[in-house]
A and B are shown apart, each in its own frame.
Chain A
Amino acid sequence: GAGVSQSPSNKVTEKGKDVELRCDPISGHTALYWYRQSLGQGLEFLIYFQGNSAPDKSGLPSDRFSAERTGGSVSTLTIQRTQQEDSAVYLCASSLSPSAAGELFFGEGSRLTVL
């Protein structure tokens, strides 16, 4: 597609359930990022994928969070046993890394609400 596509746009779940958020980056973009945006906060880095290299998972807040990127394209962020503090907008971005450091193309995000 022309831009970064994320699904679902909105997700409401019950505490303790698992959720999967999907990101389809711009074709040809080798770098993929996940950020979390909580109410009233800036963006918090979660994880970074670059080509076939091992991902940088240093931003994942707990072991309930995991992400994978299949075939260097689509990525899935999984949150297990969701907690209310996981409620946030999860933003995915891609870029023509490394030459375009910081020039990210973002999706519209997935808003997660944990009841």
Chain B
Amino acid sequence: AQTVTQSQPEMSVQEAETVTLSCTYDTSESDYYLFWYKQPPSRQMILVIRQEAYKQQNATENRFSVNFQKAAKSFSLKISDSQLGDAAMYFCASIFAPGAGSYQLTFGKGTKLSVIP
């Protein structure tokens, strides 16, 4: 079975500090994409960052970056200079075998991030 696991149900960070959210996954596929989605209280999920498994370089989007450890099947999200607007649920997700036409995202159960002023 292909799974995505987030072991931290809740995290908190001081405003302007850095926080890292953890995610691990399990698959026998060599072709997969990994994602972090953010869900604020408005409920609308927003894509934060995407990483292709074949790329060695870690993806970065402004204050958001990932630490992709392929051998360890780990995909953590680092948020630098945390802002109040970063407070949300964060979901790690993956598509396994997209090259074979797979389209279903498999989601972790999420990490609720609080930002303390």
Residues in chain A within 8 A of chain B (CB atoms): 3, 31, 40-43, 45, 48, 50, 56, 59, 89, 91, 93, 97-98, 101-104, 106-109, 111
* A11 CA to B101 CA, complexed, in Å: 35
Question: Can you list 21 A-B pairs with a CB-CB distance of less than 8 A?
Answer: A41-B109, A42-B108, A42-B109, A45-B104, A45-B105, A48-B103, A48-B104, A89-B43, A98-B103, A101-B95, A101-B102, A101-B103, A102-B35, A102-B50, A102-B95, A102-B105, A103-B47, A103-B50, A104-B45, A107-B44, A108-B43
Tell me what chain A mostly uses at the interface: helix, strand, loop, or mixed.
Answer: loop
Q: Let me know if B93 is at the binding interface, CB within 8 A.
A: yes
Contact B47 A42 (CB under 8 A): no
Residues in B58-109 with C-beta less than 8 Å from chain A: 91, 93-95, 98, 101-105, 107-109
Residue from B42, B50, B98, B105 in contact with A43 in the complex, judged by beta carbons closer than 8 Å: B105
Contact A102 B45, beta carbon cutoff 8 Å: no
| Contact partners of B50 in chain A: CB under 8 A | 102-103
A101–B47 CA distance with the chains assembled, in angstroms: 12
Number of A-B contacts (CB under 8 A): 58
Q: Which residues of A contact B91 (CB under 8 A)?
A: 42-43
Whole-angstrom CA separation of A91 from B4 in the bound complex: 19
Known: A104-B45, A108-B42. A42 touches B95 (CB 8 A): no
Mask of B36-49 contacts with A, CB within 8 angstroms, 1/0: 00000011111100
Please judge, given known A-B contacts A40-B109, A102-B33, whether A97 and B47 are in contact too, CB under 8 Å: no
Contact B44 A108 (CB under 8 A): yes
B98: chain A residues within 8 A (beta carbon)? 101-102
A110 to nearest B CB, angstroms?
A: 9
Seed contacts A97-B103, A106-B44, A108-B42; 7 additional CB < 8 Å A-B pairs? A3-B44, A42-B91, A42-B107, A43-B91, A102-B93, A106-B46, A108-B44
In the bound complex, do residue B95 and residue A106 qualify as a contact, i.e. CB atoms below 8 Å apart? Answer: no
Q: Which chain B residue has the least Cβ–Cβ distance from A4?
A: B44
B106 → chain A closest CB, angstroms:
8
Give Cα distance in the complex from A56 to B47, angstroms. 23
Given contacts A42-B109, A102-B98, A103-B47, contact A31 B42 (CB under 8 A): no
